[in-house]
Amino acid sequence: MKRRLWAVIAILLVCVLVFVVYHISTHPQRDLRFKTIDVVIGDDDLDISYGPDTAKLTIYMFVTYNCRHCRAFLEQDLPEIQSRYIDSGMVRLVVKPIDLGENRDMMSALQLAGCMNRDGLADDIIELLMTEPSAVYSDEFRELIDDIINGNPELAECLVADDFAYIKKNNALFSATHSKVTPIFVIAGHLYKGRRKIDQFCKVIDYELNR
């Protein structure tokens, strides 16, 4: 009798295991927590990107530097992702900064980062945004912007181009996803909200690479 009972229990456990494996494999949307969206996102000259244009997978990341989770991802998670996926050419990460409040000081800083990045000179402004984003609201930073406008015509033209059309476009794309949190990641029409543990995010990347 006991043997029969244990056999029944073993069969039930196997059935449960098979069901769980099948459920996860056939319902990745529930397991990975993503939403399918029809927002079309493309590249822009002022995007800050990591990885080659020929990468199999492109990840679009919308960030605000006032968000500690955004900064933590870029500072702590990106190096791991870069070593595992980006350096090998499999993945490209495209960072699209936003400022939904459209504060002129912050938008100037974000636009400046994009303009300087085109010439490979964005390290200092990005470090400032990462470590002390509130500094962009200071008189000292405003003076820096004025000095750039007065001393570098090419950079000045990029900085004030179309009244921050680049940042406003990013804001509109972010709003179109109906997200309330940052960061968000858009990967091949799938929307992933918030920062995840690095192993969970790598699981997302693996899924998107292999589907």
- Same domain? For 107 and 76 the reply is yes
Could you tell me the CATH number of the domain that includes residue 94? 3.40.30.10
pLDDT at 9: 61
By the 8 A CB rule, do 62 and 184 touch? yes
pLDDT value at residue 155: 85
Q: What is the CA radius of gyration of the chain?
A: 22
pLDDT value for 101: 94
Residue 63 contacts residue 96 (beta carbons within 8 Å): yes
Residues 110 and 145 in one domain: yes
pLDDT at 210: 93
pLDDT given at position 6: 58
State residue 3's pLDDT score: 62
Closest CA to 163 of 111, 207, 125, 198: 111
Strand locations in 120-183, DSSP E?
A: none
First-to-final CA distance of the chain: 47
Contacts of residues 68-73 at CB distance under 8 Å and 24 or more positions apart, as own/partner, are 69/182, 69/183, 69/194, 69/195, 70/182, 70/183, 70/195, 71/130, 71/133, 72/195, 73/183, 73/195
- 0.75 surpassed by pTM: yes
For residues 162 and 173, state if they share a domain.
yes
The residue whose two tokens read 């960072």 is 95
83 and 27 part of one domain: no
Same domain as 160, residue 104: yes
For residue 12, what pLDDT is reported? 60
Q: Which residues of the chain have pLDDT under 70?
A: 1-30
Write out 66-93 in H/E/C secondary structure. CCHHHHHHHHHHHHHHHHHHHCCCCEEE
Please check whether residues 46 and 1 belong to one and the same domain.
no
Total domain count, the chain: 2
Beta strands in the chain (DSSP E): 35-36, 48-50, 57-63, 91-97, 184-187, 190-193
Q: Do 93 and 120 belong together in one domain? A: yes
Same domain, residue pair 169 and 115: yes
Q: Are residues 21 and 87 in the same domain?
A: no
pLDDT on residue 13:
61
Structural domain boundaries enclosing 25: 1-32
The whole-angstrom separation of Cα 3 and Cα 73 is 53
What per-residue confidence (pLDDT) applies to 211? 83
CB under 8 A, 24+ apart: contacts of 78-86: 78/50, 80/198, 80/202, 81/198, 81/201, 81/202, 81/205, 82/50, 82/51, 84/202, 85/51, 85/57, 85/205, 85/209, 86/50, 86/51, 86/55
Same domain as 43, residue 22: no
In this prediction, residue 7 carries a pLDDT of: 56
Asked if 109 and 136 count as a contact pair (C-beta separation under 8 A), the reply is: yes
Residues 64 and 164 in one domain: yes
Residues 23 and 96 in one domain: no
> What pLDDT does 158 receive?
87
Q: What is the pLDDT of residue 11?
A: 64
